[in-house]
Amino acid sequence: MPSTLTLQTPPNFCLARAVCSYGYFALAPNQWQYTGPKRCGTFHRPLKTTDNQTIHTIITQPVPRKLLVKTAQSLPRSQHTHIKSQINRMLRLDESFTQYHRLAKTAARDKFARLLRSPTLFEDIIKTMTSCNVAWSGTIRMNQRLCEHFGADNDFPTPAELAKATIPQLKNKCKVGYRAQRILKFARDVHSGKLDLTQFQNPKTPTDQLHDALIKIHGIGPYAAANILQHLGRYDRLPIDSETIRHFKTVHNTTGSITQITRAAQKHYAAYHPNQFLAYWHELWSAYEKKSGPTYKKSTLIL
């Protein structure tokens, strides 16, 4: 028998905005369905219980300040807190963006800041690895196949599930290419306890220290590290990639070498410290929506 959970949201929280302001909403096993202007949309996402059972959930926002979570399977009351904490992480319900919104009035108006992330840091890091050096369509495909072939009940694979894979399996079934070795090493290091991901989630650790630790993971470079830092709630680094360069060339008419454009970008967002990433992402996302229409009205993201 299905269960229903409720969560209180911060003021001005908008589920559609929170889910559809970061590309991960289009990556498996996440699924967003636009249901029209009245109820806006539903977010489908399998989550794990403490004993590693997969629970399929459907999240809606029927009224302001309240989220409704319906589970496909019966969920014991003892599991409610665990499921809620994963939703809390995904939608960043605990974070305050008052300081950023004070400076960024348009972002405040757009209810923009709570960028979707995964229930676990492990999934965020693998998703980041699959977004490097590949077209967005490739990232979508890799995540779809990782869930299909290695995740229980089409959920995203856990470190244990992925650690059992082999490099040829990852290459042939998931088409992750040369990333296979990096993904597998990361999964096995996490599974064996050699790499403790909880160390990255200590709010007292300085961002520089976190960045240095992330860079030490095989397959994580400057772009990926900055991207993972924002998943950790650190917004003072810019993940400079080809998209950033393109954005600055076309929107800001910036010219010069990549190093010069990178410096121009850092200078441009410096006023938003320590939330430079949010300012950058809001600008990028707004430019995309201006061109392609509101993202929350779509079920996927075409770049």
Partner DNA sequence: GGTAGACCTGGACGC
Partner DNA sequence: GCGTCCAGGTCTACC
Q: How far is the CB of 172 from DNA (least distance, A)?
A: 7
Interface with DNA, residue 141, by CB under 7 A: yes
Interface with DNA, residue 224, by CB under 7 A: yes
* Window 158-177: residues binding DNA (CB under 7 A): 171, 175-177
**Considering beta carbons, is residue 67 or 195 the nearer one to DNA?**
195
Q: How far is the CB of 213 from DNA (least distance, A)?
A: 13
DSSP the chain: --EEEEEE--TT--HHHHHTTSGGGGSTT-EEEEEETTTEEEEEEEEE-TT--EEEEEEEEEETTEEEEEESS---GGGHHHHHHHHHHHHTTT---HHHHHH-HHHHHTT-------SSHHHHHHHHHHTTTS-HHHHHHHHHHHHHHHSGGGSPPPHHHHHT--HHHHHHHH--TTHHHHHHHHHHHHHHTSS-GGGGG-TTS-HHHHHHHHHTSTT--HHHHHHHHHHTT--SS----HHHHHHHHHTS---S-HHHHHHHHHHHHGGGTT-HHHHHHHHHHHHHHHHH--GGG-SS---
Interface with DNA, residue 263, by CB under 7 A: no
* The binder of DNA chosen from 7, 69, 126, 225 (CB under 7 A): 225
**Considering beta carbons, is residue 40 or 140 the nearer one to DNA?**
140
Judged by CB under 7 A, the stretch of 36-44, 89-97, 137-145, 263-271 that binds DNA is: 137-145
* The binder of DNA chosen from 81, 137, 166, 192 (CB under 7 A): 137
Q: How far is the CB of 43 from DNA (least distance, A)?
A: 25
Which residues of this protein are in contact with DNA, per CB under 7 A?
132-135, 137-138, 141, 171, 175-178, 215, 217-225, 241-243, 246
